[in-house]
């Protein structure tokens, strides 16, 4: 089984721009979650989607948004980028049966 | 609110010695707890889930609801156990601890 695939692996953006990150979950997994990982704040939950519906949302500003498509693939978007948005963004998928999430390698976003 | 505390940021243990990584949680309901591990330059991966009561790579973790703890243990440390370990709480939404960097001294 292919793992969770995130694209792109690296991104450099300028303050004020927007960015879209993509995540392809493991085949058959319908739950997709996104996390932000930084040295200062650690791993923080952004949002979780199941069958195209956002079920849970973390404490992030409205500039952070996401969506899930009918094939379970997910995207997250960050608008009006700030320097503090520089982080590793992780996507994870779950089959909601065996519990526990499988993580992708992440997209490292650098805002300059 | 959910909270996970890992009190040790760094832990060094000699090879062959026992390992215990501490995790305490705060949650009003029935907790779902996990240990995740991140080896150098690798992705975060699930090590243990309390619901299955399994032993992976010699590691075990027991849920103690009275002490609200889910400590990770291994009787004899190996060099390949050096990694970052995260305790996590939740199902649809994971709350992670800050992690413990475990270094095994040869």
Query: CA-CA distance, B34 to B49, in Å (whole number)?
Result: 4
Using CA coordinates, name the residue in chain B closest to A35. Answer: B94
- Cβ neighbours of residue B46 under 8 Å, at least 6 residues apart? A100, A101, A102, B34, B35, B36
User: Which chain A residues are within 8 Å of B97, Cβ to Cβ?
Assistant: 42
Q: Tens digits of per-residue pLDDT, B35-69? A: 999 999 999 999 998 877 777 899 999 899 899 99
User: Which chain B residues are within 8 Å of A101, Cβ to Cβ?
Assistant: 46, 94
pLDDT of residue A97: 65
User: Which chain B residues are within 8 Å of A42, Cβ to Cβ?
Assistant: 96-99
The residue assigned the tokens 């090879």 is: B15
What dihedral angle (degrees, nearest 10) is formed by the CA atoms of A88, B20, B68, B26? -20
Query: CA-CA distance, B23 to B83, in Å (whole number)?
Result: 16
| Banded pLDDT at B16 (limits 50, 70, 90) | very high
Reply yes or no on whether the pLDDT at A96 is more than 80: no
Share of chain B above pLDDT 70, in %: 100
């Amino acid at each position: 089984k292919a793992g969770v695939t995130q694209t792109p692996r690296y991104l450099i953006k300028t303050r004020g721009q927007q960015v879209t990150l993509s995540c392809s979950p493991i085949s058959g997994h319908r739950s997709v979650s996104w996390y932000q990982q930084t040295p200062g704040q650690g791993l923080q939950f952004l949002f979780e989607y199941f069958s195209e519906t956002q079920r849970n949302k973390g404490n992030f500003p409205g500039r952070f948004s996401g969506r899930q498509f009918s094939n379970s693939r997910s995207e997250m978007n960050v608008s009006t980028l700030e320097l503090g948005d520089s982080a590793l963004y992780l996507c994870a998928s779950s089959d909601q049966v065996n519990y526990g999430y499988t993580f992708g390698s992440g997209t490292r976003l650098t805002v300059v | 609110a959910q909270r996970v505390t890992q009190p040790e940021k760094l832990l060094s243990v000699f090879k062959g010695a026992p390992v215990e990584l501490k995790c305490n949680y705060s949650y009003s309901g029935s907790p779902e707890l996990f240990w995740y591990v991140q080896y150098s330059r690798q992705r975060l991966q699930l090590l243990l889930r309390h619901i299955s009561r399994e032993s992976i790579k010699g590691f075990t973790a027991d849920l103690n609801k009275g002490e609200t703890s889910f400590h990770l243990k291994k009787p004899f440390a190996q060099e390949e156990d050096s990694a970052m370990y995260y305790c996590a709480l939740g199902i649809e939404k994971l709350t992670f601890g800050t992690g413990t960097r475990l270094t095994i001294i040869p």
